[in-house]
Chain A
Amino acid sequence: MEFKGRDVISIYDFSKQELLYIIRIAKQIKLNPQKYSGILRGKVMAAMFFEPSTRTRLSFSSSMEQLGGQVIGFSNSNVTSMQKGESLWDTVKMTENYSDVIVIRHPLEGSARLAAEASEVPVINGGDGSNQHPTQTMLDIFTINESKGKLENLHVGFLGDLKYGRTVHSLVVALSHFNPVFYFIAPEGLKMPEHYLAELRQKGIKYYESSNLEPSLSRMDILYVTRIQKERFAEPLEYQKYKGVYKIDNSALKNAKETLKIMHPLPRVDEISKEVDSTEHALYFQQAANGIPIRKTLLSLVLGKLK
């Protein structure tokens, strides 16, 4: 498997074997961070953040610095020459001269793919609009594997906005390698898009759709919750209705398996009650923390410092 010089743009670009390999390296790095502390000394990461991000930018920067590398970049496109009308292509062309790896977040979809074509140094996608966010998906499957000890044959529920949620779409694609059973729980207007369902049918993967969590909850090993965004609804009353229905608290979980783990890409608003945080079900903070080992792994692999 060759990762040196490779771009990380879309979860579709990674095979099952490659995903398992990334998880294995991330586990080693997480268990023994000291061993890797200087491996990126002398390397520079450019963080090109054209829109706000807290977790992704900070965890990439922290990962790079913990590995001995340096970080340059910006977190607001107002300070760049794009304000003067410079194209993304040209901005990336400039940046590659100053860095060994580029991490980009940009509101336009496909921007990361374009950046990768413009750049001679590897590009990692930190989110391109509502299209892809592959490092989030990798940390999600790393977290599932860590907590369950496996990825194969899991029953995984998804709850909330399944129509616009890119983390859900990418995770469904990644988990499809591992013979899962899926439960898609969403209000009528926010159901899983048909083309993803068609892809699952084609691969022979079992899935169930419902607008109600209760009937399938007891079968789930993982419940992946996403935020329902107010702006998706034309009617404020509709929003209020769904918001209440999909709120997870301890009483909503009374029929769940003891071993059920709840995940959330964060930030949450009120879809998971704080009382769940102190239960064995809560996995979302551990999930957020796993951004570090996964991003350390990807930076080291694409820079050719780990094989």
Chain B
Amino acid sequence: MQKKKAPEKELKVAAIENGTVIDHIPADSTFKVAEILKLDSYTDVVSVASNLSSSVLGRKGLVKVAGKYLTEQEFSKISIVAPQATVNIIRNYQVKEKIKVNLPDTIDNVIKCSNPVCITNNEEILTKFYITRKNPLKVKCHYCEREMEKGDIKIV
């Protein structure tokens, strides 16, 4: 019997004219990215796909947002939950720029300290963290010096 031709691996989501496509998100972080970008209250076209097959990540997520470009702050936040993500800037249906998310050495005002007696949880100040290990992610609070691993890291 002739083998059925495997369906083409094509993503059935609409192309966007202008906006951002974030690819190579670890599957379990897809909705965290959506949360970071506050997509639940976004009014333009948004496509969120998760558990897509990926040769690098096994399963990956993908987020398309029409009419939006990321701020530096959003970049930093995404680099925490999806350190291998690629950000595609779309203009006029063309990928104008492909940026690999990169974890900076320090992260300002993105992470909330997990230490309840840290000064940052008790006084109105911006948080600051040092990346002490990239994979798996480990960060250290500039103020209380407490180290946190990936599971404990909360975004502001």
Contact = CB atoms under 8 A, between A and B. Distances in A.
Interface of A: 10, 12, 87-89, 106-111, 113-114, 128-129, 131-132, 195
A124 B115 CA distance: 23
A109 B123 contact: no
B134 interface: no
A110 B114 CA distance: 13
Given A89-B123, A107-B117, A109-B117, A129 B144 contact: yes
Nearest to B127: A110
A110 B141 contact: yes
A114 B117 contact: no
A87 B115 contact: no
A136 B145 CA distance: 18
A113 B143 CA distance: 6
A110 B125 CA distance: 11
Contact of B117 (A12, A129, A132): A129
Contact of B125 (A12, A89, A129, A132): A89
A117 to B, nearest CB: 9
B124 interface: yes
B121 to A, nearest CB: 9
* Chain A, interface SS category: mixed
A111 B145 contact: no
B145 A131 contact: yes
A106 B122 CA distance: 12
A109 B118 CA distance: 5
A2 to B, nearest CB: 22
A113 B144 CA distance: 8
Contacts of A12: 145
Contact of A88 (B123, B142, B145): B123
A113 B146 CA distance: 13
Given A109-B115, A113-B142, A128-B119, 18 more contacts: A87-B124, A88-B119, A88-B123, A108-B117, A108-B119, A108-B123, A109-B143, A109-B144, A110-B141, A110-B143, A113-B119, A113-B143, A114-B123, A114-B125, A128-B144, A129-B117, A129-B144, A132-B145
Contact of B119 (A10, A109, A195): A109
Most central of B119, B144, B146 by chain A CB within 10 Å = B119
Contacts of B119: 88, 106, 108-111, 113-114, 128
A131 B123 contact: no
Task: For the complex of A and B, list the 4 residue pairs with the smallest distance between their C-beta atoms, beginning with the closest.
Answer: A110-B143, A109-B144, A110-B144, A110-B119
B145 A108 contact: no
Interface string B124-156: 110000000000000001111111000000000
Most central of A87, A106, A131, A195 by chain B CB within 10 Å = A131
Contacts of B125: 89, 114
A131 B117 CA distance: 10
Contacts of A109: 115, 117-119, 143-146
Contacts of A106: 119
Contacts of A113: 119, 142-143
Most central of A12, A114, A132 by chain B CB within 10 Å = A114
A87 B144 CA distance: 17
B120 interface: yes
B122 to A, nearest CB: 6
Most central of A89, A107, A110, A114 by chain B CB within 10 Å = A110
B117 A10 contact: no
